[in-house]
Chains A and B, each alone.
Chain A
Amino acid sequence: MSKTMSKSHNVSEAESCIHGAANRSSRRSERRRADVEDPFGRALEYFSQVKAGTPVKGNDALENNLVLVERVALGRGLPPGAVATLLDFALSLRLGSSVCSRVLKFLIPASAVPQDSVVRGVSWFCMGKMPVSAQILFLRWILTMFDLIDSKDQLRSIYGFIFSFVTDEVLSPYVCHLLYLLTTKEHVQPFRVRKLLEVQAKMGRQPPLTQLLALYKVLCPEMIAISMPSKTRGGFKNHNLPWKTALAAVLKKNKTAEAPSPPLSLDIKEKASTRKRKKLHHLEVPQLSCGPEIESSRGKAVHLQQLRSFAQLLQNLDNIELPAQMGSLLSSSLALHYLDCVHDESALLRLNFWLGSVLHEEFLFCSRDGNPENSTEPSQFLDMLISTQDFLQECFSSSEFFLFKFLAMWDGSLHQPQILSLLSDIPPLPVSRMKMFLFEPLQQLYFTSSVFFKCGVIECLRSMLWKWLTWHFVQTSHKELDVSLSSSRTMNLHMSEFLELVTELVQYVGRLASAGLQLENYHILLHHQTLNFYELVCDVYLKFNLPLFLLPPSGVIFPSLLATDPVTVDRLGYVIFRYRQNLMSAKEHKQQKKEPSFHISRDVFREFNLLMVAVVSCLWISKDCQVDVGTDVHKALVPLRTMLSYCKNYNLIHHPAFLNYAIEFHQKCWPEQTNVDLSSIQGKKYWYWYLEFLFSQGFDGLKDFIQNNMDHQSTPVGGH
Chain B
Amino acid sequence: MESPVTRLPTRRRTKSYGRSCFEASSRFAYTSGQLTILRIPTTREAPRARNIAERVDPEQVTLLIKNEWKLSYVTPLYRFRHTHLKKYSKHLSAFIAAEKQQGTAVEVGLETGYRVTFSTVLGIAETDEDAETVFIQIQSKPMFAATGDALKVVWSGWLTCVNGSPEYLHSLLPDFVSLPLFCSSGPENITVVVKSWFEKMFDCRFGSLGLDSTSLQWLCALWTGCHPDNNIRYLRLLWTLPTQPPLDVSYTVNPQDAWELWNSVRQEDSVDGTVGIDEVKHFMAGLESHFFRHFKIYLSSGTLRKVSTALGSAQQDGKVKILCSDYLATVLTLLTECAILKMPI
Report which A residues bind B (CB closer than 8 A): 190, 193-194, 196-197, 200, 205, 210, 213-214, 216-217, 221-229, 232, 282, 286, 289, 291-292, 294-295, 324-327, 339, 343, 345-346, 348-361, 365, 367, 392-398, 401-402, 404-405, 427-430, 433, 437, 471, 474-475, 478, 485, 490-491, 494, 497
Contact = CB atoms under 8 A, between A and B. Distances in A.
5 contacts: A225-B95, A352-B344, A357-B344, A401-B34, A494-B24
A289 B203 CA distance: 11
A286 B195 CA distance: 14
A321 B15 CA distance: 20
Contacts of B102: 227-229
Nearest to B90: A222
Contacts of A216: 105
Contact of B103 (A210, A223, A471, A478): A210
B205 A282 contact: yes
Interface string B1-22: 0011101101101111111011
Nearest to B13: A478
A428 to B, nearest CB: 7
A229 B78 CA distance: 27
B4 A475 contact: no
B35 interface: yes
Interface stretch (B25-33, B40-48, B250-258, B308-316): B25-33
A226 B106 contact: yes
Given A352-B345, A401-B344, A427-B21, A324 B200 contact: yes
Nearest to A196: B105
Nearest to A356: B344
Contacts of B344: 352-353, 355-357, 359-360, 398, 401-402
A401 B104 contact: no
A365 B176 CA distance: 24
Given A223-B107, A226-B105, A349 B18 contact: yes
B61 interface: no
A367 B24 contact: no
A307 to B, nearest CB: 20
A interface majority secondary structure: helix
Nearest to B95: A225
Interface in B110-164: none
B208 A367 contact: yes
B207 A494 contact: no
B207 A349 contact: no
B207 A224 contact: no
Contacts of A360: 207, 342, 344
Interface of B: 3-5, 7-8, 10-11, 13-19, 21-22, 24-25, 27-28, 30, 32-35, 75-76, 78-79, 81, 84, 87, 91, 94-95, 97-99, 102-108, 172-173, 175-176, 199-201, 203-205, 207-208, 342-345
Contacts of A357: 75, 205, 207, 344
Contact of B4 (A343, A354, A397): A397
Contacts of B10: 343
B5 A226 contact: no
B207 A225 contact: no
Contacts of A190: 107
B180 to A, nearest CB: 12
Contacts of A324: 200-201, 203
Contact of A325 (B11, B19, B199): B199
Given A282-B205, A397-B16, A471 B104 contact: no
B200 A325 contact: yes
Shortest 9 CB-CB contacts between residues of A and residues of B? A356-B344, A397-B18, A225-B94, A427-B21, A229-B102, A226-B105, A225-B98, A213-B105, A357-B205
Given A353-B75, A494-B24, A346 B105 contact: no
B199 A398 contact: no
Contacts of A429: 21, 27-28, 30
B176 A346 contact: yes
A294 B87 contact: yes
Of B3, B105, B343, most buried by chain A (CB within 10 Å of CB) is: B105
Contacts of A200: 104-105
Nearest to B76: A353
Contacts of B173: 345-346, 349
A225 B16 contact: no
A225 B345 contact: no
B232 to A, nearest CB: 32
Contact of B98 (A227, A286, A490): A227
A144 to B, nearest CB: 27
A217 B107 CA distance: 10
Given A210-B103, A225-B105, A346 B175 contact: yes
Nearest to B104: A205
A356 to B, nearest CB: 3
B174 to A, nearest CB: 9
A401 B262 CA distance: 39
A331 B199 CA distance: 17
B91 A401 contact: no
Contact of A348 (B17, B172, B342): B17
Given A282-B207, A349-B172, A394-B17, 10 more contacts: A223-B108, A224-B94, A226-B103, A295-B79, A325-B203, A326-B203, A327-B203, A353-B344, A397-B19, A427-B16
Contacts of A228: 102-103
Of A193, A213, A225, A232, most buried by chain B (CB within 10 Å of CB) is: A225
Nearest to B344: A356
Nearest to A341: B15
Nearest to A222: B108
Contacts of B34: 401
Contacts of B11: 485
B27 A394 contact: no
Contacts of B8: 343, 345
A65 to B, nearest CB: 49
A404 B24 CA distance: 22
Of B24, B81, B176, most buried by chain A (CB within 10 Å of CB) is: B24
Contacts of B75: 353-354, 356-357
Contacts of B32: 433, 437
A217 B105 contact: yes
A442 to B, nearest CB: 16
B191 to A, nearest CB: 12
Given A294-B87, A357-B75, A397 B107 contact: no
Contacts of B345: 349, 352-353, 356, 397-398, 401
Contacts of B94: 224-225
A294 B103 contact: no
B176 A349 contact: yes
A490 B27 CA distance: 12
Contacts of A343: 8, 10, 15
Contacts of A404: 35
B17 A392 contact: yes
B342 A294 contact: no
A349 B5 contact: yes
B150 to A, nearest CB: 25
Contacts of A427: 16, 21, 27
B18 A348 contact: yes
B66 to A, nearest CB: 28
A231 to B, nearest CB: 9
A353 B25 CA distance: 25
B4 A474 contact: no
B8 to A, nearest CB: 6
Nearest to A228: B103
A474 B22 CA distance: 10
B91 A348 contact: no
Nearest to B92: A225
Contacts of B203: 291, 324-327, 350, 353-354
A369 to B, nearest CB: 10
Contact of A428 (B14, B27, B107, B175): B27
A255 B275 CA distance: 80
Given A360-B344, A397-B19, A494-B27, A232 B103 contact: yes
Contacts of B200: 286, 289, 324-325
